[in-house]
Structure 1
């Protein structure tokens, strides 16, 4: 593809082969594009696909979404629909603004179609995202917001920390992703345990109901994002908690701590700490989606994410039980043509 042969190499030359610099420059360019309505209209005509579907009460123009992590602070929200996405998930944001982990913290592995990151929820904070949405408005596709725990907040303070983010962003999000599964914030994955998750979901559900009642509308859907590294028994317990607290859906999966599937010349990067995404995660992500679908009798909607690098991967994810799919690594490595090809393949069956 043109992106792989020419555009990506040029981006990396300009970014001195630093994936985080490339990411920042790309986001800055898309933020500028978001302020040019005629250009957005032209791009949407080329990249867009029409495959409307309703999931957890929301109508999506197509099934392909942008996963959290690409546009944490909502800097380019208007651009994503123009590039063919049917929904976008901002974040992960935290109550407190935080710089994230020390650099370098992002590694592109093109031979493996993979990325390793240990970003650590670098973001400007929930209040900053709320202010941007209040002044610039929402995109015209469904907006999810992924919320996580601030690194400075102890696990004992996690509930209040998540509640603050939910409260700040409640007027703007079409759904919330409760991120308890990133491997890059110490202790975060402990929130997937039955007792901790029960406390968190009970508190967030109660707050959501109260905020919705005050606004005179239905509660905003709450989804839980799970790790691919959970055992079946642990995942089964998590799903029981989600069912008890009427969670609207599951996002499966986050990045993995496994290093299986790296290409030989890139295997040495397996020593880098962080979460692995992309092609090596594809099989395990589908297994988790299939388990969730079967364990819940197909009653709990699933957003499938992990290793989707083309239409075939997306179709396999839907066949496993997902209602929607998200891409991140595939977009980062192969560009918007990937979104167009997936969206149009799914829309034609």
Structure 2
């Protein structure tokens, strides 16, 4: 049914407008008192819970940062079957993001190009919503993803991240440091070890007992990924999220003119699957087995999730396939995992 609706309606709409329409429906589920009823239909029937970061995740599958930027649909997304919701990316200073259009579909590739630019209402405002959602009896695990404010110079990034971490640490179940989006000038430079070490140390100080993870780009060279893994271990981080979007356009089947028209931005979706899996395996070779690795990038099906778990992921996230598979996407993954024999 959703595929027909997508083909007839959504694919002809501006992607960001379509997102907001779908988002409005997700947000209203708790207000109509439907969350509990819907979750009975969407959550796993068998015990798929995962213990990680000192938390219990009802399913290994969650929604990645970028979908709910301001924490307005946490409970609705939980009702749809996501075991955790990573809110954000939020910044210390509220910002509108880049000019529209800034979200593009590459339908033949089941991919998305975005250059949203961390549009959000600011860490303090979003933290208030997260705190309210945490008080609900039935809720997903809630992460808060923090990034650099666009108006802040890279040289002042540490202080800027401190502000966001201070606002988020007391309300989020875990924090994620985003230094890997291609849509904020200079941000990816912070992945260099000499820049990343003081940044992560500062955020860790602000986070206190709240679990802390760092999110990295798929475009890093393997040696750099190993270096980040070593730094995460050295600083006592709780985990790594791999990976963010890519600036690569290699191997796409979408017409070159369509790709060129989409322009700059991060590519996500199916074309990212191979590299994301490579990075996961590389990380798992270089961090302790107890460290949480969240695998994200090109995940569409229960089989994809199972592959990531078998390769060493603790948790798995998705985002782009939501657009192509619709509101029952998390349910289909949970039900698919239900039918598979557990990993030994």
* TM-score for the superposition, normalised by structure 2: 0.93
SS at match of 1:322: coil
SS at match of 2:219: coil
> For residue 250 of structure 2, what is the aligned residue in structure 1?
260
Shift in CA distance, 53/94, structure 1 to aligned 2, threshold 3 Å: same
Shift in CA distance, 138/188, structure 1 to aligned 2, threshold 3 Å: farther
* TM-score for the superposition, normalised by structure 1: 0.92
> For residue 240 of structure 1, what is the aligned residue in structure 2?
230
| 1:92-120 deviation digits (Å, cap 9, x = unpaired) | 00000001011111001221110000000
> For residue 35 of structure 2, what is the aligned residue in structure 1?
40
CA distance in 1 between counterparts of 2:186 and 2:8 reads 37
| Structure 1 residues without counterparts, runs of 5 or longer | 210-218
Please say if residues 114 and 276 of structure 1, whose CA atoms lie closer than 8 Å, have aligned partners that are also in contact.
Answer: yes
Instruction: Map 1:77-156 onto structure 2 (within 5 A).
Output: 77-135=74-132, 137-138=134-135, 140-156=139-155
CA distance in 1 between counterparts of 2:293 and 2:260 reads 29
CA distance in 2 between counterparts of 1:66 and 1:138 reads 20
| 1:287-331 deviation digits (Å, cap 9, x = unpaired) | 000000012253421111000111221122112211110010011
Please say if residues 111 and 270 of structure 2, whose CA atoms lie closer than 8 Å, have aligned partners that are also in contact.
Answer: yes
Matched, 1:61 2:52: no
Please say if residues 98 and 124 of structure 1, whose CA atoms lie closer than 8 Å, have aligned partners that are also in contact.
Answer: yes
> For residue 239 of structure 2, what is the aligned residue in structure 1?
249
| 1:5-44 deviation digits (Å, cap 9, x = unpaired) | 225633345xxx200011112112222223122x212211
SS at match of 1:145: strand
> For residue 178 of structure 2, what is the aligned residue in structure 1?
179
Matched, 1:197 2:193: no
* Aligned residues between the structures: 335
| Structure 2 residues without counterparts, runs of 5 or longer | none
CA distance in 1 between counterparts of 2:225 and 2:218 reads 9
SS at match of 2:9: helix
Q: Aligned-pair distance for 1:267?
A: 6.1
Matched, 1:226 2:216: yes
Q: Which deviates further from its counterpart, 310-319 or 59-68?
A: 310-319
Shift in CA distance, 103/130, structure 1 to aligned 2, threshold 3 Å: same
CA distance in 1 between counterparts of 2:70 and 2:85 reads 12
Picking from 296, 299, 304, the partner of 1:305 is 296
CA distance in 2 between counterparts of 1:301 and 1:231 reads 21
Picking from 264, 267, 272, the partner of 1:273 is 264
RMSD across aligned C-alpha pairs, in angstroms? Answer: 1.6
> For residue 325 of structure 1, what is the aligned residue in structure 2?
316
> For residue 70 of structure 2, what is the aligned residue in structure 1?
73
Please say if residues 106 and 254 of structure 2, whose CA atoms lie closer than 8 Å, have aligned partners that are also in contact.
Answer: no
Please say if residues 145 and 175 of structure 1, whose CA atoms lie closer than 8 Å, have aligned partners that are also in contact.
Answer: yes
